[in-house]
Structure 1
Amino acid sequence: MSQAPSPRTVVGCTLLVIALGAGVTACGSGGNPLSAEPYDAADQVAFRGPTGDGKKADPDKPIEVTAEDDDGRITDVTAVDASGRYVAGELSADGSRWHSTSPLAAGAHYTVRVSTEDEDGAPGRRIMTFDTGKPRTKKRLGVTFGPKAGKYGVGQPITAELDQPVKDKAQRAVVERALKVDSTPAVEGGWHWVNDKELHYRPKEYWPTHATIQVRSNLDGIKIGDRLWGGKAKPLRIATGDRVIAVTDAASHSMTVYKNDEVIKQIPVTTGKPGFETRNGVKVVLGKEYFVRMRGTSIGIAEGSAESYDLPVYYATRVTWSGEYVHAAPWSVGSQGSANVSHGCTGMSTANAAWFFENVREGDVVKVVNSYGNTMEPFGNGFGDWNLAWKNWRNGSALVAGNPEGPNPQDAARLRPTAV
C-alpha cells in the first residue's frame, strides 16, 4: 500500500474528502487480518462524485466508487444524507465498482462510507462527504397524508394525496419508493395507485390491534422528472384500537359484532330490498353522525313517487360516501330480523343503533355477506380497499414490476347523498 495515489482518487472541488485510519497494515493481533484496525483506503478507492458548478454537486448525476488497486476490492458502500435518507446502490460481484441506483436529493449533505479489503483480507475504510446543489426548477410535488392523526380501527387505509398528477411509471416509482410506512408491530403492506394523484396503503391483512403507524415522505429535494422535484410533507402518526368487525348477513337479517375475534353483540337488522340491495363486501367506517336528514331524491328517487322518503335519522354510522349507513330505523322494527325493506342502508332499532354508534370508531370494519347487491367498489365511494385480493392490490404498485407475489419493494368538500 505504499504506491502513490492514483490521479483518479482526487475528488473535484465539489467534494470534501475525509480519510480515516493511520495506514495500519494487515499484521494485527495474532496475525489475524480481521483483528486489524481498518487502514486508510484513500489510495485504493476512486470516487467519481456528481460534479457540479464548482461549489455544489449536481444531484442529477450518480455516485460511483471504484477499486483502483488490483490487489484489493470494495466490500461495502453506504451513502446517506444528513436527514438519514440512504442512497440505494449496486456493488459488482468482483467488488471492483459500486454505483448509486436511486436519485440524490437536492440541497443535501451526503456522507459516503466505503469499506475495502486487501489481498490478505485486511479491512480498509474511506469516508467522503459532499453537498448537492439546489434543483433547477421551483416546481415541487406536495404530498398530504391521511387520515388525520388519531386512533382508528384496524381496517383504516393510509392515503397519500399529491398536489399534481404523476402519470409516468418511472416517476411513480420514485414517488412511491420515498413514501414510507412503518408500523409497530411490523406487518407486510404496500401502496396502490388509485389514480394519478392518489395512493392508498394497506397491509396484506388488517392492521394489528393497538398498533402504532408512522407515515413519512423522503421526497424532499428528490428529482422526480425533468421539471418536477419532491417537496416537503408533514409526517403522520396514527394508532389502532381493538379489532372490531361487524358482519351483516343479508340473508338471515342479522348483524354479528366481533371484538378481538369474540362475539359481543348480535343485532336483528334489515338491509336493502330488491332494486336497492345493500352492497356486499368489506366497508370501513367513515364517520358517525348523530342526526342526518335522509331524502330519496339524494339517490335518484323522484319526489312524490311510491319510493319517495324524507326522514330524520339518528345514530347514523356512515360506510359509503354515496349514502349507505348503519342507523336507527324505528319505522322498520317489525321487519328487522325477518325481511329486507330498506333502500340500501342497514337499519336496526334505536337502542341497537345507539349501541353500535357508541362502540365503533372510524376505521372499524363493516362487512356485508349474502346480499344480492354488487360488491363494494374498491375506491371512490369510501374505503373498499379490502375487496381487492392481495395480488391485485400489489399490481397497483409502481414498484412491483409484474411480480405481485414477490416481496415488497419497501419494508374539497364533496356532496354526500343519503339513502335509508
Structure 2
Amino acid sequence: MACVALLAVLLLPACQAGAEATAAPTPDAAPLATARPVPAAVISTDPPLGARDVAPVTPLVVKAGNGDLTAVTVTAADGTPLPGTTSPDNRSWTASEPLAYGTSYAVQASARNVEGTPVEVSGSVGTVTPRTLAMPSVFPDEDTPVVGVGQPITVTFDEDVTDRAAVERALRVTTTPPVVGAWSWVGDRAVHYRPRDYWPARTHVVVDVDTYGVPMGDGVSGQADRHVEFDIGAKKVGVVDADELQLRLYVDDQLVKTMPTSLGKASSPTPSGTYVVMSQHRDYTMRSATYGVPADSPDGYETPVRYASRLSNSGIFVHGAPWSVGDQGRRNVSHGCLNVSVANAGWFYENFGRGDVVEVAGAGPRLQTWDGFGDWNTTWDQWLAGSALPQPAA
C-alpha cells in the first residue's frame, strides 16, 4: 500500500501540468474598436444656390444634414431681409413670405455637427422677371357681402391670359354647404364661376385667387392674390312673359308681388333669357347714345328716370316709367327695358338687388352670355366646355 501511495504522489505534478497546458488562455482586455469619424454637417437649399429665373412662389428652404442649423440670413439686393421660420428640430428653415419678382437673394447659412464642428455656405438665388404682370379683380368683392342666387363669380385680369389652364388651377371656390359649380372663360381676360343651378339661398362662399407668381403665358405673370368671402341671400326671382306682361316677384319661391310691365317694342325687343341685377340707381338718365343712337336722331332720347335696376350691359333696366303706365300690362312700348310704375320700381329697388334674378320669356332673341351676367343663358354642358381644365361629366 505504501508503494501505491508513493506512486500517486509522484504522478500528481505531471497531471496538474497537463491540465494547465490545455486550459484556454484568458486575455487581459478585449481589442479596442476603431472609432468612426463624425460626419460633417451639410447645408443645402431648395432652389439650389445659383438658381436663376425661379418662380417667386417657390418656397425658399434651407436644410441641414448631419447636424443642426445655427443661423440663416436671406437678404434681397436692396438689403431687405426675407423673414423665415426654423423647424423645432433645427434641421430646416423656410421663408415665410413669397419671393419678389426680378430679385436676387443672398443666402448665408451655418450649421454644426454633433461634435459642434461648424460649416458655412453662401450664395444667391434669383427670381424670374416677367414681361408684364396681370392684376386680378374679383366680384363679388368686399363691398358686396350679400348677393342674390343668380350672381356669378367673376375674375378679371388687366392683361390677356393665354395659359388659361395655369390660371384656372390657381382658382378655388369653397362653399358651405357644398355646391356643384365650374369656371368658364368669357374672353381673354375674364373667367366666371357659376353653380349648375342657382345658388342655394344663404350659402357662404369663399373665393381664393392664388395667381401671384403664376405664369399666364406670353411673358405675363400674376401680380397678386385675392381672397373674398360673401353670402347668398334669400332666393329672389322675377318672372315675366311677353304675352302676359305681368312681372311676378318671388321670394324663397313664394309670390310676394305682381307688377304690370311693358317690354321692348317690335323695333327694339327685350331679349329673352335670364338676367341678373347688376347695379341700382335711385336716379338715372337713360341715353340712347349708349347703344349708338345719337340723342338728336329721330329715335334718340335722353330721359331721367327713378329707381333704375340694371339688368344688362346693353342697357336693359327695370325702372320707373310714368309715361307708359297706361301701356303697362297691355302692350310693349319700351326701348327694351322693363317699364313699371314709379311706385313699383321703388319697391323693386328696395327689395331686390345685386345678384337677384329676372327671367324674361317669349320676347326677343336670346340674351347673350357676355351681356351683363348672362351666364345662365347657356346649358350646363356648354358652360363646362368653356373651362380650360377637364371637367367631370354633367
Shorter-chain TM-score bucket reads 0.5 to 0.7
Q: Compare CA radii of gyration and give the structure with the larger one.
A: 2
Q: 2:380 aligns with which of 385, 390, 395?
A: 390
In structure 2, C-alpha distance between the alignment counterparts of 1:239 and 1:389, rounded to whole Å: 25
**Structure 1 residue 274: Cα displacement:** 0.6
Q: Which residue number corresponds to residue 34 of structure 1?
A: none
Q: 2:165 aligns with which of 156, 164, 173?
A: 173
**Structure 1 residue 195: Cα displacement:** 1.6
Correspondences of 1:159-198 after superposition (within 5 Å): 159-167=154-162, 171-198=163-190
Correspondences of 1:47-58 after superposition (within 5 Å): 52-53=48-49
- For normalisation by structure 1, the TM-score amounts to 0.64
Q: 2:44 aligns with which of 14, 25, 47?
A: 14
What letter corresponds to residue 379 of structure 2 in structure 1? A
Kept in 2, the 8 Å contact 1:219–1:232? The answer is yes
Kept in 2, the 8 Å contact 1:249–1:368? The answer is yes
Q: Which residue number corresponds to residue 136 of structure 1?
A: 128
Correspondences of 1:307-386 after superposition (within 5 Å): 307-371=299-363, 373-379=364-370, 381-386=371-376
Kept in 2, the 8 Å contact 1:14–1:130? The answer is no
Q: Which residue number corresponds to residue 406 of structure 1?
A: 393
- Provide the aligned C-alpha RMSD in A: 2.9
In structure 2, C-alpha distance between the alignment counterparts of 1:251 and 1:298, rounded to whole Å: 28
Kept in 1, the 8 Å contact 2:52–2:128? The answer is no
Q: Could you report, residue by residue, the CA deviation over 1:72-109 in whole angstroms, capped at 9, with x for unpaired residues?
A: xxxxxxxxxxxxxxxxxxxxxxxxxxxxxxxx932445
In structure 2, C-alpha distance between the alignment counterparts of 1:295 and 1:326, rounded to whole Å: 15
In structure 1, C-alpha distance between the alignment counterparts of 2:339 and 2:140, rounded to whole Å: 27
Equivalent residue pairs, number: 296
In structure 2, C-alpha distance between the alignment counterparts of 1:160 and 1:110, rounded to whole Å: 36
What letter corresponds to residue 253 of structure 1 in structure 2? L
Q: Could you report, residue by residue, the CA deviation over 1:107-156 in whole angstroms, capped at 9, with x for unpaired residues?
A: 44599xxxxxxxxxxxxxxx998779553225544322123222111111
**Structure 1 residue 300: Cα displacement:** 4.1
Q: Could you report, residue by residue, the CA deviation over 1:15-45 in whole angstroms, capped at 9, with x for unpaired residues?
A: 5xxxxxxxxxxxxxxxxxxxxxxxxxxxxxx
What letter corresponds to residue 148 of structure 1 in structure 2? D
In structure 1, C-alpha distance between the alignment counterparts of 2:342 and 2:216, rounded to whole Å: 53
Q: Which residue number corresponds to residue 69 of structure 1?
A: none
Distance 1:200 1:134, change over 3 A: farther
Greater alpha carbon shift after TM alignment, 284-293 vs 307-316: 307-316
**Structure 1 residue 163: Cα displacement:** 2.9
In structure 2, C-alpha distance between the alignment counterparts of 1:186 and 1:152, rounded to whole Å: 17
**Structure 1 residue 306: Cα displacement:** 5.1
In structure 2, C-alpha distance between the alignment counterparts of 1:261 and 1:221, rounded to whole Å: 45
SS across alignment from 1:353:
helix
Q: Which residue number corresponds to residue 199 of structure 1?
A: 191
**Structure 1 residue 247: Cα displacement:** 1.0
**Structure 1 residue 228: Cα displacement:** 4.4
Distance 1:211 1:108, change over 3 A: farther
In structure 1, C-alpha distance between the alignment counterparts of 2:336 and 2:263, rounded to whole Å: 6
Distance 1:311 1:226, change over 3 A: closer
Q: Which residue number corresponds to residue 245 of structure 1?
A: 237
In structure 2, C-alpha distance between the alignment counterparts of 1:204 and 1:135, rounded to whole Å: 40
Distance 1:108 1:207, change over 3 A: farther
Correspondences of 1:136-285 after superposition (within 5 Å): 136-138=128-130, 139-149=132-142, 150-167=145-162, 171-225=163-217, 227-285=219-277
Distance 1:349 1:228, change over 3 A: closer
**Structure 1 residue 249: Cα displacement:** 1.1
In structure 2, C-alpha distance between the alignment counterparts of 1:189 and 1:129, rounded to whole Å: 39
What letter corresponds to residue 181 of structure 2 in structure 1? G
Which runs of 5 or more structure 1 residues have no equivalent in the other structure? 1-11, 16-49, 61-103, 112-126, 408-420
Kept in 2, the 8 Å contact 1:273–1:340? The answer is yes
Q: Could you report, residue by residue, the CA deviation over 1:176-198 in whole angstroms, capped at 9, with x for unpaired residues?
A: 01111111111111111112211
In structure 2, C-alpha distance between the alignment counterparts of 1:218 and 1:301, rounded to whole Å: 42
Distance 1:297 1:159, change over 3 A: closer
1:106 aligns with 2:106: no
In structure 2, C-alpha distance between the alignment counterparts of 1:254 and 1:325, rounded to whole Å: 16
In structure 2, C-alpha distance between the alignment counterparts of 1:232 and 1:188, rounded to whole Å: 27
- For normalisation by structure 2, the TM-score amounts to 0.68
Distance 1:196 1:327, change over 3 A: same
Which runs of 5 or more structure 2 residues have no equivalent in the other structure? 1-41, 64-90, 100-124
**Structure 1 residue 213: Cα displacement:** 1.1
SS across alignment from 1:257:
strand
In structure 1, C-alpha distance between the alignment counterparts of 2:134 and 2:367, rounded to whole Å: 32
Distance 1:333 1:173, change over 3 A: same
**Structure 1 residue 290: Cα displacement:** 1.1
SS across alignment from 2:164:
helix
Distance 1:300 1:105, change over 3 A: closer
SS across alignment from 2:247:
strand
In structure 2, C-alpha distance between the alignment counterparts of 1:109 and 1:145, rounded to whole Å: 32
Kept in 1, the 8 Å contact 2:133–2:159? The answer is no
Kept in 1, the 8 Å contact 2:248–2:258? The answer is yes
Distance 1:252 1:173, change over 3 A: same
What letter corresponds to residue 106 of structure 1 in structure 2? T
Distance 1:134 1:361, change over 3 A: farther
In structure 2, C-alpha distance between the alignment counterparts of 1:346 and 1:361, rounded to whole Å: 15
In structure 1, C-alpha distance between the alignment counterparts of 2:289 and 2:187, rounded to whole Å: 30
Kept in 2, the 8 Å contact 1:271–1:344? The answer is yes
